[in-house]
Structure 1
Amino acid sequence: MLLIEEFLDNCYEISREISEEVLNALIEYIEDNYEKIDDPLLSDVEIRVKLEEFRDYIIEAKKLSTQRALKRLSHVRGMVERFKYNFLTYSITCEDSDFAKPLDLPIKYAKGVGPAREKLLKKLGIETIGDLISFFPRDYEDRRKVIPLMYVRENEKITTKGVLKSVEKNKKGDLVIVSALLQDGINQVILKWFNQEFKEMEVKQLVGSEVYVTGTVKRGFFGAMEIQNPEISLSDSPERTILPVYSLTENLTQKTIRKIILDNLPSICNLRDLIPKEILEERKLIDVWKAYTGMHFPKSSFHYKISRKRLAYEELLLFQTALYLSKRNVKQVGGIPKSFSGKLAEEFISKLPFRLTNAQKRAHAEIREDMRSPDPMNRLLQGDVGSGKTLVAELAIIDNYEAGYQSAFMVPTSILAIQHFQKLFNHLTDLGIRVALLIGSTSQREKEKIKFALRNGDLDVVVGTHALIQEDVHFANLGLVIIDEQHRFGVKQREELISKGKVVDTLIMTATPIPRTLSLTLYGDLDMSVIDEM
């Protein structure tokens, strides 16, 4: 049994090179496998005719001269791509759609949703029609190929069919196992659900019924074939198709949510395609309406894959655009050009019991250059644990202090804040730099004392968690913010760090190795320094 897209994918792979040997292999594959195609899409006359034309175009190459035959071979991959885009995808028709409802319409007005279902959908975070059509499946149940029980193989995700037999529940300590038997008259497979006690009643109601079961086949402890935590549904929809599998809540079934989403899918017509047509064509991306259709009810695996690719591309494009606009806005506001001799930092370095590595020196020099610039610093400092990132950050704090500005050091947790405070306090106090700790457990009296000192310029450095942003903390002259582990703090929070109408310098430290290409994607608005020596 072969699906059309499997057949085409194999033809595509065989045709990677242009040679007589490859052509003969392709012709042999088509002659051996064309009749094995068993696909519900063959019921579409146009698809069947186009597939026959594709087959004949290649097989008839045997009658042509070598040059003309190889010319045909060179066309195969393009033909496969066009066939898949034209016939293995689809979109709902949006022209004159009377069923498209506004995306901001409350979910209670969606077709097929009453007061009871409204409450269930809201448990899933679905408040509006827009939320509903953006509630994408967590998986898919491919019923185009229903594998008989006798052909199930270990470690393969399959959909099979059989009659559900006995159900039982066993407890082994804290583990609850619900088991059932799936039979087709000759062969059988054990179904098991772990720590899903509610499945017992659900499955018992299906005993004696013919059901579809989807899951990954495993070999059990005693050698029998098992499908663990499978999806199970009545075989009351015999059409061979790809069914979406959604996250559920109690009293909401797959059948119900599929119907609700299908009935309201015309509302995707109110979506606006945010990607310009030229980019869609250049990147070979489908439009947003075909993508949303393919995410919920794909015509093929190919349709789902290109739908996901399209929406992922849009998400990254919007993210990059947001980063660009953020960087442009920050640049327009302007930074704080700092003037300092660097003598205080040199004094600090001279008292260290070790020498800075070349990587530390390079990173410090890059940070200094940023701090002296009229543009705000947005720099990512990357280095393994123990590479000396904190020492470089201390040097930046010293330079910032010498220029006459305060520093804020933000970390994800209170424990880290305490560790950093102790280190900074021990290292910087001898230079006359006043350091304080502000975390959630700091007493209210001490908090007010620290806030007052920061507001009046009596403190030079404060170490804390995101409370430094959330609580009503004001600085007399903030010039530098150091953030440990960027992923805990967003771009928006960095934009809030503005002092006296200017954007402060920001240094983000991370121990996570980030490839350059990924750093450009995730941290497109940041420059990067790497400490690659220990």
Structure 2
Amino acid sequence: MGISLDSIEVKQINGVSAQKQNELHAFGVFTVKDLLEYYPFRYDDFRPRSLSEIKHGDKATLVAKVIGIPVLQRFGGKSRLSCKMVAEPWMFTATWFNQHYVREQLTAQREIVITGKWDQKRNAITVTDYEFTDRGEGKIGTLQPVYSVGGKITQTWIRKIIHQGLQQYGELIPEILPHSIIRKYEFMSRKRAIATIHRPEDTREGQQGRRRMVYEELFLFQLKVQAFRVLNRGRMDGVVHTVDNATVRQFVRSLPFELTDAQKRVELEILQDMRSPYCMNRLLQGDVGSGKTVLAAIALYATVKSGFQGALMVPTEILAEQHMRSLTKMFEPFGITVGLLTGSVTGRKRKDLLASLQMGMLDIVVGTHALIQEDVFFRGLGMVVTDEQHRFGVNQRSILRRKGYNPDVLTMTATPIPRTLAITVFGDMDVSTLSERPKGRVPIMTYWVKPDLMERVLKLVNREVDQGRQAYLICPLIEESEKLDVQNAIDLHIQMSQAFPHYKVGLLHGRMTPGEKDEVMRAFYSNEIQLLVSTTVVEVGVDVPNATLMIIMDADRFGLSQLHQLRGRVGRGQHASFCVLVADPKSEIGRERMTAMTDTDDGFEVSRRDLELRGPGDFFGTKQSGLPEFRLADMTADFEVLEQARDDAAELLKDTDFWTSADYAPLRNYLQNEQIFQGDIID
């Protein structure tokens, strides 16, 4: 099978000392494979251009001759060196800062290649890199890779070491893609692609190398996810729920509203999964207020009627209480018992609840991460529902699932995820989407105003609260910050208390204890507080039907998806609702966000634009969600490649040759190394 590059330590490369090896470890480089796959994030272009092609502010490389006497000026321990140059037929000035030693080398008529920022107005270039043609270092006319380095690792050194690594071990770079795919896309070989990314002859060759390796990254990820599904779907014994349609219909008919067509479709998808012998792993995504909770209730009802217990885990106590109230109301007529387990449930009450759960006397438990503590046992856990799943770590979700024998898992999120991102992050899940709003849902009117119109905004607050409604005021910071000139919650609370002395103004922020937050939210829920000044802690799922006004200060500081989540806190009752974005954005992205929010209230459209503006990292904390970190691929820019890679992986796994042919052996080995054949759930 030959030597594997990931088994050769990086110190085996000539020029890597023990000290340098330790410094490389800090960048995650331990083996020769790590080093060769430590790709540059951009290139410095040392290909000379004519001054006639260069615009003001451009970074450019010029071939010039020294024609003037270099002038050195010193000031306060720093220096500036200027010299007249000619790049036929133009004359200009080249300036070096804090490189006084260059003066001795600037002899008349000597040819030099200089790179720097061109200043059209001063007819000058500020030099960042230079090379004399009579003792060239090989940069002239090339694209030089720029790596993410620091400390004692310099660009020059890492370039040299990667080049040395390619010379010593380049022949050992294995091909992993099958011939059929290489032929289909006319890819260069893996060996050449990696070498090309580090030392491209020209832009086109560099793009071809990147194209090949981006596809490979996305293809291997999709292959891993889909192979897991193919291998485990038939063999992972799950809970078989035996509830019949008539029983489910009885529950659905008892609801005070009719399900939308989208809800009916998703209900069928969930029930079909629950009745099958394999373990359900389904993501239910839907816009704010699209009716996900009702579907979770149907799934939990079917679980109990099949003789099992259900668990619903949510990120906050107030949300747990809210779900507890709504589920109790729905299930009481059917004799189904619901318990609440949060950090606030202690002493005798907690002991009784845990005993009821373990003996099977409690059908459904709703709770926070208190559900995953060691002393929580179920008699027969058949369904786990997690709400706003990206608020929980991967480990927290899997601990809850392990409290039963492969229970079905339904994961809910109100962050509508564009299809591109959903198939990547949740590739091992089936995705159900609620794209339709329940009938009678009040549309929210969204306005963008500049801060100088704040007086008019306060009149709107006054009008709504006078009519018995409630309002949120959201701002990005807790306390004043010298770095950011943004409204902060504490100052805003004082201002609002003074502006509205007849109303009760509450304050909510992340530094308060969970108990303090819950107390404020309960007071707001029961209309003891009319105006709530808050940071983004209200973003997740709190349902106050009487709140009709959402004002977001410095709205351009928030991401689009977050703004949309905040907007979804209002419009939950029968009354007309408003969202006012107060912002004077200086950046183009800030202005685009404001326009997108006033253009549409469709969460999927909002999240599509957010993905374009910010990239995928902001949808989820990477470590929390299992969002893969690719070395080269960018899920926003490369979404078409991602979809193609997914289709190719699915096609390949259906082919019987994949499991036997020598051409696919490297891919089978890859899956073996990734432990796909072990049967553990990818979370």
* TM-score between the two structures when normalised by the length of structure 2: 0.50
- C-alpha distance in 1 between matches for 2:56 and 2:12: 46
Indicate which of 238, 243, 258 corresponds to 2:159: 258
Letter in 1 for 2:340: A
**8 Å CA contact 1:124, 1:249 repeated in 2:** no
Structure 1 distance, partners of 2:180, 2:75, is: 58
Q: Which residue of 1 aligns with 2:214?
A: 312
Aligned match of 2:433: 530
- Are 1:427 and 2:334 counterparts? no
Deviation of the 1:142 alpha carbon? 2.2
Match of 1:417 in 2: 316
Q: Number of matched residues?
A: 408
Aligned to 2:26, which of 84, 106, 123?
Answer: 123
* 8 Å Cα contact 1:273/1:288 also seen in 2: yes
Query: Is the aligned partner of 1:112 residue 2:1?
Result: no
Checking the alignment, whether the CA contact within 8 Å between 1:103 and 1:129 is kept in structure 2 is yes
**Whole-Å separation in 1 of the counterparts to 2:100 and 2:346:** 58
Superposed CA offset, 1:72-128 (max 9, x none): xxxxxxxxxxxxxxxxxxxxxxxx9xxx99432333332211133223212222122
**Cα 1:101–1:482 shift into 2, 3 Å:** closer
8 Å CA contact 1:330, 1:503 repeated in 2 = no
Say if 1:101 and 1:129, in contact at 8 Å, map to a contact too: no
Q: Distance in 1 between matches of 2:301 and 2:84?
A: 74
- Name the CA distance, whole Å, in 1 between partners of 2:228 and 2:283: 16
Amino acid at match of 2:337: I
Give the match for residue 288 of structure 1.
190
| TM score, norm. by length of structure 1 | 0.62
Give the letter for the 2:141 counterpart.
Answer: R
3-state SS, counterpart of residue 332 of structure 1: coil
In structure 2, do the counterparts of structure 1 residues 152 and 445 end up closer, same or farther at CA, with 3 Å as the change threshold?
farther
1:187 is aligned to 2:86: no
**Distance change in 2, residues 1:348/1:419 (3 Å):** farther
* 1:45-88 CA-partner distances (Å, limit 9, x unpaired): xxxxxxxxxxxxxxxxxxxxxxxxxxxxxxxxxxxxxxxxxxxx
Shift of 1:136: 0.6
Match status 1:338 vs 2:241: yes
Distance 2:392 2:81 in 1: 48
User: CA shift at 1:135, angstroms?
Assistant: 0.8
The structure-2 alpha-carbon separation of the partners of 1:380 and 1:169, relative to structure 1 and needing over 3 Å to count, comes to farther
Against the structure 1 CA distance between its residues 237 and 339, is the aligned structure 2 distance closer, same or farther, given a 3 Å change threshold? same
2:274 alignment counterpart: 371
Q: Distance in 1 between matches of 2:150 and 2:428?
A: 40
The 1-side partners of 2:10 and 2:101 are apart by 31
Say if 1:108 and 1:114, in contact at 8 Å, map to a contact too. Answer: yes
* Aligned counterparts, 1:188-227, within 5 A: 188=93, 212-213=114-115
Q: Which amino acid aligns with 2:307?
A: G
Contact (CA 8 Å) 1:481, 1:506: kept in 2 or not?
yes
Give the secondary-structure state (helix, strand or coil) at the position aligned to 1:258.
Answer: helix
Residues 317/388 of structure 1: CA separation in 2 closer, same or farther (3 Å cut): same
Aligned residue identity for 1:426? R
* Aligned-residue offset at 1:529: 2.3
Alpha-carbon contact 1:285-1:310 (below 8 Å) kept: yes
The sequence identity of aligned pairs, in percent, is: 33
Deviations 1:408-451 (A, max 9, x none): 4345xxxx433431222111234343333457x99899999877
Query: Is contact 1:357–1:533 with CA below 8 Å preserved after alignment?
Result: yes
Q: Decide which of 166, 181, 194 is 1:279's aligned counterpart.
A: 181
**Local SS of the residue matching 1:480:** strand
Q: 1:339 to 1:306 in 2, by over 3 A?
A: same
Structure-2 change in CA distance of 1:409 and 1:285 (3 Å): farther
- Judged with a 3 Å threshold, the aligned counterparts in structure 2 of structure 1 residues 471 and 226 are, in CA distance, closer, same or farther, namely farther
Deviation of 1:357 after TM superposition, in Å, equals 2.3
Partner amino acid, structure 2, of 1:356: L
Task: State the distance in 2 between where 1:227 and 1:456 align.
Answer: 80
What amino acid is aligned across from residue 237 of structure 1 in structure 2? E
Shift of 1:277: 1.6
1:506 correspondence with 2:409: yes
The 1:104/1:449 distance shift into structure 2, 3 A limit, reads farther
Asked if the contact 1:150/1:187 (under 8 Å) is kept, the reply is no
Taking the aligned partners of 1:169 and 1:447, their CA distance within structure 2 comes to: 73
Taking structure 1 as reference, are residues 434 and 500 closer, same or farther at Cα in structure 2, changes over 3 Å only? closer
Q: Which residue of 2 aligns with 1:463?
A: 367
Task: Please name the residue that 1:237 is paired with.
Answer: 137
Q: Secondary structure at the match of 2:282?
A: strand
CA distance in 2, matches of 1:454, 1:478: 10
Aligned equivalents of 2:57, 2:406: Cα separation in 1: 55
Give the CA deviation at 1:478: 2.0
| Alpha carbons 2:324, 2:366 under 8 Å: kept | no
Q: Deviations over 1:265-316 (max 9, x none)?
A: 1324333211112221122112210111011111222222122221122222
In structure 2, relative to structure 1, the CA distance for the partners of 1:245 and 1:471 (3 Å cut) is farther
Could you tell me whether the CA contact under 8 Å between 2:93 and 2:124 is conserved in 1?
A: no
Q: CA separation in 1, counterparts of 2:298 and 2:119?
A: 57
Deviations 1:366-402 (A, max 9, x none): 2122212223223232221121223322322222233
In structure 1, what is the equivalent of residue 570 of structure 2? none
Seen in structure 2, the aligned counterparts of structure 1 residues 132 and 345 have a Cα distance that, compared at 3 Å, is: same
Asked if 1 retains the 8 angstrom alpha-carbon contact of 2:360 and 2:379, the reply is yes
Do structure 1's residue 301 and structure 2's residue 203 form an aligned pair? Answer: yes
Cα deviation digits, residues 207-263 of structure 1 (max 9, x gap): 887674367x799xxx779999x9646565254212111111123221111111111
1:139 corresponds to: 42
Q: 1:270 aligns with which of 172, 192, 201?
A: 172
CA distance in 1, matches of 2:311, 2:71: 65
Q: Over residues 479-531 of structure 1, what are the superposed CA-to-partner deviations in whole Å (9 max), with x where a residue is unaligned?
A: 22224456677999988876699532222323444555665555444333221
Shift of 1:336: 1.5
Partner of 1:152: 54
Whether 2:309 is the aligned partner of 1:406: answer yes
The alpha-carbon deviation at position 149 of structure 1 amounts to: 5.0
SS across alignment from 2:6 = coil
Q: Which amino acid aligns with 1:187?
A: F
Would the alpha carbon gap of residues 119 and 524 (structure 1) be closer, same or farther in structure 2, given more than 3 Å must change?
A: closer
Correspondent of 1:436 among 340, 346, 358: 340
> Alignment partner of 1:333: what SS?
coil
Aligned letter for 1:132?
L
Aligned to 1:21: none
- Gap change, CA 1:159 and 1:447, over 3 Å in 2: farther
Gaps of 5+ in 2: 106-111, 438-683
User: Which structure 1 residue ranges, 5 or more long, are not aligned?
Assistant: 1-95, 171-177, 192-199
C-alpha distance in structure 2 between counterparts of 1:446 and 1:233, whole Å: 75
Q: Which secondary structure state, in structure 2, belongs to the residue aligned with residue 436 of structure 1?
A: strand
Q: Distance in 2 between matches of 1:268 and 1:496?
A: 43
Kept in 1, the 8 Å contact 2:378–2:403? The answer is no
What's the secondary structure of 1:244's corresponding residue?
Answer: strand
AA partner of residue 137 (structure 2) = S
